Structures are given as C-alpha cells and as structure tokens.
Structure 1
Amino acid sequence: MTDFFNEVRQLADVTSRLTVLEAAAAIFLSFILTLCIAYLYKRTHTGARYSQSFVQTIIIMGVTVSVVMIVIGNNVAVAFGLVGAFSIIRFRSAMSDPKDIAFIFFGMAAGI
C-alpha cells in the first residue's frame, strides 16, 4: 500500500514541475489563443460602444491567467495567497452586454 502512495507522490511531483521552455510555450499559446478570441470579438461586435481597450483586456487577461496558473502549480498555499491578493482589486466599469462577459470568460479559459 505504501508503494502505491509513493508512486502517486512521485507522479504529483513530476506534474508540478514545469520547465522554462514549457512555461514559455504555455504563455505563447495562451497569447495566440486570446489573439484569436480578440479577433473574433472584433469581427462579431455589433454594439455602438466599441472599445479597443476591451479587446486588449481580453488578451492581457488570458496571458495573465496563464502566468498565474504556472505560478500556482499544485501549491494550495500560494493559490489562497493569490486569491487574497486579488480580492482587493475592484473593477469600476460595469459590463453592459452579456456577450462582453462571455468573451472575458472565454479569454480566461484560454489562459487556463
């Protein structure tokens, strides 16, 4: 029984380590995916209030989520620390279109 737990522990240790090349590839891939999402948003936006900063936010949010996921890894203590740090951030602008919120979540999912 202890052999099983040792194997599981070793497997968890291997999955928690990320090489610099793998981290750079994950960040680059999330950047490319969020560029595609931002382009899709730009092509499908029909409202009167088009904001270039919103498109940039989609891209930045996806890459930031990717970096945060790399930093957290399998460490629960770091995850709770980051949740506490991010809880002080307040967003001043309200989203008027539900499609905008969906694109934000789409960009975050690409980062994850």
Structure 2
Amino acid sequence: MFILDIFSLQQNIDFSLRSLTISLLLGTLLSLALKIHYQRFGMSLSNRVAFSKVFVFITLTTTLIISIVKSSIALSLGLVGALSIVRFRTPIKEPEELAYLFMCIAVGLGLGANQWLATIVATTIILIVTIRWKRSEDQSLFLSLDWEKSHNIDLDQLQNCLLKFICDCDLRRFDSRDEREEVIYYINIANSDNLLSLIQKLKTDFPQIGISFLDKTTIPGV
C-alpha cells in the first residue's frame, strides 16, 4: 500500500524537462548579468569578483529546487524540513551583498515557477534603476597617508595628486612625530576604478608612502 502511494505521488508531479532547461539557460544569463552589474557598479572596495562567483550557483540551484517542488505539496514540505537544518557560517559583511543574494534567489524563484517574461522584465528594470542610483552616489572614505620625515613630501603636491581622481578632498588631521608624519583626508570618490587608479598613482609618485583607506560607515557615530 505504501509503495502504491509513492507511485501515485510520483505520477502527480508535473515535471517538464524542457521547461527546466529553458529556466536554467535564462537563469545562467540573468545571473551573469547580476555578476557583471555587481563587479562594475558595486560599492564594496574588495572581494567583489570572488563574491559574485556564487551568483550563478545560487540562481541555478534555486531554479532547480523550485522547478522540482512547485507541483508537489509533499516535496514542498520536505524542502522546509531540509532547509531547517541548514546553517550559514559565513557572515554577510555589507547590506549590498545581501541585496544581491536576495536578487539571485528572486530570479531563481521566478524562473523556477516558469514566470520567464516577468522575471526578465523585473530583473532588467531593477538593474537599470540601480545603475542610475549607484552612479549618482559618491563613496565617502577616510584616506590615511604616512611617511618618514626624511622624505620631505610636499603636501600641496600630494593634494594635487589626490584631486585628479576624487570628487572632493578635505584635510582632517596632520600628525608630525619624531620620525614619521601622517595626514588624514576625508574624500569622496565616484567609483572603485578611480580608487584603484589613485592607489597606483600614489605608489608611482610617492613609492615611500603608506596608504590606508577606511569606509566612514564603519566608524560609529559618523
């Protein structure tokens, strides 16, 4: 009797291999678009390339799961039980990372439910809107530069170098100790490409200088 019930349950599952293939192909394209979008317009200063590698995997996995369980209540309940034992050990450092992960899951849910057109249209609109939003925002950072006194670095020359790559530069602190000097600037920078160019320029023009960046959002009360 139990075997007959299982056989009957399997017969009730409406699974289309053709629909799954289309969903996986669309999921691959959309997740790659999300990956490129995050690498190009993401505000994180590091780890964008490594972090975005999981987008395709998460999207396709979600698509597969939804495609399998959408037509079976029993499988849906089993999925809830299986997910209840899953624990993520790696913390999400920034809200932006969580937003992109949710986007990958949303794409997988839409494609797994065969809502292809709605998913494509919604994803396209979201990516376009966030491109315009991210382009309108500058990233505010604290830039710390230090060097040995014997190098006699000209602050005017240093600031002129900074202004070639950043939107705004404000000197917040200058320390002169026995053997070293340090300046801290509050800067606004348009994107990470400018930041990388600035670092390369500083290393070229002032090879003896030490460079540190600090996102102001990580400082309590700022």
Instruction: Please tell me the TM-score bracket, short chain as reference.
Output: 0.7 to 0.9
Q: Does 1:69 align with 2:66?
A: yes
> Displacement of 1:25 after TM fit?
0.6
- Distance, in Å, in 2 between the alignment partners of 1:103 and 1:97 is 10
CA deviation map 1:18-57 (0-9, x unaligned): 4211110111111111111111011112323314342121
CA RMSD, Structure 1 to Structure 2 (Å): 1.7
- Distance, in Å, in 1 between the alignment partners of 2:101 and 2:25 is 18
In structure 2, relative to structure 1, the CA distance for the partners of 1:88 and 1:35 (3 Å cut) is: same
Taking structure 1 as the reference length, the TM-score comes to 0.78
- Distance, in Å, in 1 between the alignment partners of 2:73 and 2:105 is 20
- Distance, in Å, in 2 between the alignment partners of 1:91 and 1:62 is 17
> Displacement of 1:97 after TM fit?
0.9
Aligned counterpart, 2:47: 50
- Distance, in Å, in 1 between the alignment partners of 2:14 and 2:47 is 41
- Distance, in Å, in 1 between the alignment partners of 2:49 and 2:85 is 26
| Pairing of 1:81-92 with structure 2 (within 5 A) | 81-92=78-89
Asked whether the equivalents of residues 35 and 52 of structure 2 are also in contact (C-alpha less than 8 Å), the reply is: yes
CA deviation map 1:47-68 (0-9, x unaligned): 2331434212121110000000
Structure 1 or 2: more strand by fraction:
2
Instruction: Report the structure number with the largest CA radius of gyration.
Output: 2
Asked whether the equivalents of residues 14 and 71 of structure 2 are also in contact (C-alpha less than 8 Å), the reply is: no
- Distance, in Å, in 2 between the alignment partners of 1:25 and 1:47 is 33
Structure 1 stretches of at least 4 aligned residues deviating more than 3 Å after TM superposition: none
Equivalenced residue count is 98
Letter aligned with residue 31 of structure 1: T
Q: Larger relative contact order (C-alpha < 8 A, sep ≥ 6)?
A: 1
Gaps of at least 5 residues in structure 1 are 1-12
Sequence identity (%): 23
Letter aligned with residue 66 of structure 2: M
Gaps of at least 5 residues in structure 2 are 1-11, 110-222
Taking structure 2 as the reference length, the TM-score comes to 0.41
> Displacement of 1:81 after TM fit?
0.6
> Displacement of 1:96 after TM fit?
1.5
Aligned counterpart, 2:128: none
Letter aligned with residue 94 of structure 1: P
Structure 1 or 2: more helix by fraction:
1
Aligned counterpart, 1:27: 24
